[in-house]
Amino acid sequence: MKKISILAAVVLAAIMGSCTNSAPNANLKNDVDTLSYAIGLAQTQGLKEYLTQRMDVDTTYIDEFVKGLNEGANAGDNKKKAAYYAGIQIGQQISQQMVKGINYEVFGDDSINTISLKNFMAGFIAGTTGKKALMTTDEASMTAQTMMQSVKARIMQDKYGDWKKQCEDYMAEIAKKEGINDLGDGVYYEVITEGKGAIPADTSRVKVNYEGKLLNDTIFDSSYQRGEPAKFRCNQVIPGWTKALTNMPVGSTWMVYIPQEQAYGDRDAGKISPYSCLIFKIELLGIE
């Protein structure tokens, strides 16, 4: 007999429907009864973990789960009840997964701000029923993308605006510093050691030692600390790095100053906060 997955069993229960929250009493009068009971019991292996970890069910309310389970299993092919339970299931997914995911995408770790569930549901139901929609689904997709970028930008500006200005002011001062060279697009460098070797192409694989710092002198990455050079293609790194490497003769050591637009922009990259300008000591050891 082909084993039914736990997920399939849960989904089947969620889209059917009718009865009580008590467990039926087993009455094993014949081999089919015993087979039925054994299959039912066997299907629950790992179910509690699935309910708690994947469906966020509090087992304090396991009787409510059993009630819904009985209703679903006894609904048969009642299409009205099937539609209702499908709505329950998708509603739970909206509550437990979709809204949480959207909130994280838009607001990050901010647990205070949230999208409007009322308006989300108004749009979701309008799209489902095809009634009273204020825009087409294509227009909605474009609007959502545009507005998400706008809201994220506003939130990031509120959170990191002072840091962004500090970095912009620093880069403006670097541009005026004696001995600074301009690579374009706001990327600058100063020569510590001028090499005499070849200059890599953007597709070249290079061997480098480097140390990266933030404006506050935090070292966020260093091949020197790891004890071995890094190897990668010049076009596999942030744009500011690519610009530096493809103008840098082998044997050179440069200090390279990269604005946030040529680094990680408004992205949070671990130790690197959004809008960070980056300061690198780069030593180009060779082209492989």
- 8 Å CB contact between 14 and 83: no
CB distance 284 to 230 below 8 Å:
no
Q: What are phi and psi of 187, to 5 degrees?
A: -95, 130
Q: Which domain holds residue 283?
A: 162-287
In a domain, 245, yes or no: yes
CB atoms within 10 A of CB 231: 13
The pLDDT, as a whole number, for residue 1 is: 40
Query: In CATH, what number is assigned to the domain containing residue 241?
Result: 3.10.50.40
Q: Is 282 in the same domain as 172?
A: yes
CA distance 220 to 234: 20
Q: What percent of the chain has pLDDT over 90?
A: 49
Helices (H), 177-231: 223-226
Kindly state whether residue 142 falls inside one of the protein's structural domains.
no
Percent of the chain with pLDDT over 70: 92
pLDDT above 80 (res 71) = yes
pLDDT average, residue stretch 224-248: 96
> Is residue 57 assigned to a domain?
yes
* Whether residues 118 and 177 fall in one domain: no
CA distances from 4 to 8, 11, 47, 82 (A): 7, 11, 12, 20
pLDDT tens digits along 241-251: 999 999 999 99
Pairwise CA distance, residues 270 & 206, whole Å: 25
To which residue do tokens 């510590």 refer? 192
- Does residue 94 lie within any of the structural domains? yes
Domain co-membership, 116 together with 186: no
Distance of alpha carbon 90 from alpha carbon 92, whole angstroms: 5
**Domain closes at, from 129, 149, 184:** 129
Burial 32-59 (b: 16+ CB within 10 A, else e): eeeeeeeeeeebeeeeeebbeeebebee
Does residue 98 sit in the same domain as residue 211? Answer: no
CA distance 65 to 56: 12
Is the pLDDT at 100 greater than 60? The verdict is yes
pLDDT in tens, 176-190: 999 999 999 999 999
* DSSP code string of 76-96: TT-HHHHHHHHHHHHHHHIII
- Is 136 a member of any domain? no
* pLDDT confidence bin for 278, thresholds 50/70/90: very high
Q: What is the pLDDT of residues 122-149, one digit of tens each?
A: 999 999 888 988 999 899 999 998 888 8
Q: Return the minimum-mean-pLDDT range out of 22-26, 166-170, 208-212.
A: 22-26
Domain shared by 26 and 115, yes or no = yes
Cα 149 to Cα 143: distance, rounded to the nearest angstrom: 10
Residues 280 and 173 in one domain: yes
State the DSSP code for 141. H
Mean pLDDT of 264-270: 89
Are 80 and 29 members of one domain?
Answer: yes
Residue 156, domain member (yes or no): no
**Where does the pLDDT of residue 20 fall: very low under 50, low under 70, confident under 90, or very high at 90 and above?**
very low
Same domain, 124 and 166: no
Least confident residue range of 36-45, 229-238, 265-274 = 36-45
Q: Are 172 and 116 part of one and the same domain?
A: no
Least confident of 156-160, 188-192, 196-200: 156-160
pTM of the model: 0.62
Band (5; pLDDT cuts 50, 70, 90): very low
User: How many structural domains comprise the chain?
Assistant: 2
- Distances from the Cα of 195 to the Cαs of 9, 81, 215, in angstroms? 67, 76, 27
